[in-house]
């Protein structure tokens, strides 16, 4: 099997599965209970919160980090917990993942003033248009770090500078799911208020993620219950998943440079080979994370190419797995690709365990597909 869909999810490491099982088997108690074994677990979970704040380059003594069921929930808490005033303006990048974009649409339906920041054709937000949209009425901005379909990396510091120039007390939310543990960034440098991350994109288990909340950011809870996670996310704390996520993050950060170097070589190798194929456009450029390579096979349906590769045991995607049922592609269209080109979109996404032979097999089969449809 050649698995090249790591932006959709990654294979959990044996280390994180081991810890998950150990905690579930041996330390299954409720971390919020009052006896000592629970209290010790609770204290260790608090230490893990600090680890995550440090990974994000936040202030571990003042900022908060809460655990959620994944980035979809983190994004919902960040957005619905912040967007409370119908007189204010809320800006969202056009490139956002559905777990942000659909929250923005829901706010709009509810009568909030919501505007979408256009993208440049390199996939980043259009900074100039953003600056012209930003005024003193803007109280919330959401832009992702790395786009999940194209790999385009937004310049968070530049975005924060524009926000600070134009408005005050503005919450800056960043969905960093595709960047966390993969490329280096700092919530402090860009003065990020809220930052969403997920475990299953960094060789961790599914169903656990987190939300960073900077010390000056006030959000309201959107669900109600026992008041766990500082009241922002009620529900029995999933200690096993938290310990497991911690292990995945530890491994990702220990090897962040090594992994980046490896996937950069893989991307270079892939791009070289792809550039020899006729009528194929490489969407992902130099500003993109090397973990994601998006292409357009003009005159083809990405869906058909994906199925062909699937039949050969090669797994790629036609875009975000979370929106694969949707017709068209909002993000590529926002970058200026036409409807026909968008139909031929395919995404290849790596992790450090991919090898050059995976790419050879992908290219061999892509060429075979093209030969077969042309005969
Ligand atoms: N944001 C981005 C950019 C993503 O790629 C994903 C996963 N596809 C999510 C949010 C949702 O993450 P989760 O699966 O943890 O809910």
- 160-164: average pLDDT: 98
Residue 117 has a pLDDT of 98
The structural architecture, per CATH, of the domain 2-9+256-373 is Alpha-Beta Complex (3.90)
For the chain, what percent of residues have pLDDT higher than 90? 95
Would you say the CB of residue 97 lies under 6 angstroms from ligand 1? Answer: yes
Assess whether pLDDT exceeds 50 at residue 189. yes
Would you say the CB of residue 99 lies under 6 angstroms from ligand 1? Answer: yes
Residue nearest to atom 8 of ligand 1 (CA): 8
Tell how far the Cα of 174 is from the centroid of ligand 1, in angstroms: 12
Assess whether pLDDT exceeds 50 at residue 194. yes
Residue range(s) occupied by CATH 3.40.640.10 in the chain: 14-253
Mean pLDDT of the chain: 96
Cα dist from 344 to 275, 305, 340, whole Å: 16, 8, 7
Residue pair 225/219 in contact by the 8 Å Cβ criterion: no
Sequence-distant (6+) residues with CB within 8 A of 155 are: 124, 127
Tell how far the Cα of 97 is from the centroid of ligand 1, in angstroms: 7
Residue pair 182/259 in contact by the 8 Å Cβ criterion: yes
Residue range(s) occupied by CATH 3.90.1150.10 in the chain: 2-9+256-373
What tokens appear for 42 in the block?
């609770």
pTM summary value: 0.97
Residue 329 has a pLDDT of 87
Q: Which of 67, 74, 76, 99 to mutate to test the pocket of ligand 1 (most atoms within 8 A of CB)?
A: 99
SS3 24: helix
- 288-293: average pLDDT: 98
For the chain, what percent of residues have pLDDT higher than 70? 97
Assess whether pLDDT exceeds 90 at residue 171. yes
What tokens appear for 58 in the block?
């936040």
- 295-310: average pLDDT: 95
Q: Which of 69, 144, 201 to mutate to test the pocket of ligand 1 (most atoms within 8 A of CB)?
A: 201
Residue 19 has a pLDDT of 98
Residue 327 has a pLDDT of 56
Residue 328 has a pLDDT of 64
Would you say the CB of residue 154 lies under 6 angstroms from ligand 1? Answer: no
Residue 316 has a pLDDT of 98
Q: Which atom of ligand 1 is nearest to the CA of 198?
A: 15
Give me the residues paired with residue 141 across strands. 91, 172
Would you say the CB of residue 148 lies under 6 angstroms from ligand 1? Answer: yes
Tell how far the Cα of 33 is from the centroid of ligand 1, in angstroms: 31
Give me the residues paired with residue 66 across strands. 211
Would you say the CB of residue 144 lies under 6 angstroms from ligand 1? Answer: yes
Residue 374 has a pLDDT of 80
Assess whether pLDDT exceeds 90 at residue 320. no
Q: How confident is the model at residue 325 (pLDDT cuts 50, 70, 90)?
A: very low
Q: What are phi and psi of 129, to 5 degrees?
A: -65, -40
Convert the pLDDT of each residue in 92-127 to its tens digit.
999 999 999 999 999 999 999 999 999 999 999 999
- 193-214: average pLDDT: 98
Lowest mean pLDDT among 43-52, 253-262, 331-340: 331-340
CATH number of 14-253: 3.40.640.10
- 283-299: average pLDDT: 95
- 260-264: average pLDDT: 98
- 190-215: average pLDDT: 98
Convert the pLDDT of each residue in 32-78 to its tens digit.
999 999 999 999 999 999 999 999 999 999 999 999 999 999 999 99
288 is catalytic: no
Tell how far the Cα of 53 is from the centroid of ligand 1, in angstroms: 19
Would you say the CB of residue 71 lies under 6 angstroms from ligand 1? Answer: yes
């Amino acid at each position: 099997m050649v698995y090249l869909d790591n932006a959709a999810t990654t294979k959990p490491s044996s280390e994180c599965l081991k810890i998950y099982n150990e905690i579930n088997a041996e330390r299954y108690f409720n971390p919020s209970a009052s006896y000592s074994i629970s209290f010790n677990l609770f204290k260790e979970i608090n230490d893990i919160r600090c680890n995550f704040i440090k990974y994000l380059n936040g202030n571990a003594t003042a900022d908060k980090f809460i655990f959620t069921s994944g980035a979809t929930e983190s994004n919902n808490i960040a957005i619905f917990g912040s967007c409370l005033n119908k007189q204010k303006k809320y800006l969202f990048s056009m490139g956002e993942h559905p777990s942000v974009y659909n929250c923005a649409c829901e706010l709009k339906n509810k009568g909030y003033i919501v505007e979408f920041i256009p993208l440049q054709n390199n996939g980043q937000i259009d900074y100039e248009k953003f600056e012209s949209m930003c005024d003193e009425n803007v109280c919330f901005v959401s832009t992702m770090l790395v786009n999940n379909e194209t790999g385009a990396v937004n310049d968070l510091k530049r975005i924060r500078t524009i926000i600070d120039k134009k408005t005050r007390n503005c919450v800056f939310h960043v969905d960093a799911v595709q960047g966390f543990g993969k490329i280096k960034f700092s919530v402090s440098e860009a003065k990020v208020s809220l930052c969403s991350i997920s475990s299953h994109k960094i060789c961790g288990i599914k169903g656990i993620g987190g939300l960073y909340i900077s010390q000056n950011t006030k959000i309201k809870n959107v669900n109600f219950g026992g008041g766990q996670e500082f009241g922002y996310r009620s529900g029995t704390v999933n200690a096993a998943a938290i310990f497991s996520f911690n292990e995945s993050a530890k491994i990702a950060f220990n090897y962040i440079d090594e992994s980046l170097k490896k996937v950069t070589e893989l991307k270079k190798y892939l791009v070289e080979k792809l550039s020899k194929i006729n009528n194929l456009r490489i969407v992902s450029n130099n500003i993109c994370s090397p973990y994601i390579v998006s292409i357009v096979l003009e005159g083809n349906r990405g869906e058909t190419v994906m199925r062909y590769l699937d039949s050969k045991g090669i797994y790629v995607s036609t875009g975000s797995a979370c929106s694969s049922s949707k017709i068209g592609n909002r993000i590529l269209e926002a970058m200026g690709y036409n409807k026909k080109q968008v139909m031929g979109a395919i995404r290849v996404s790596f992790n450090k365990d991919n090898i050059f032979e995976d790419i050879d097999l992908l290219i061999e089969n892509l060429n075979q597909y093209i030969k077969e449809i042309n005969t």
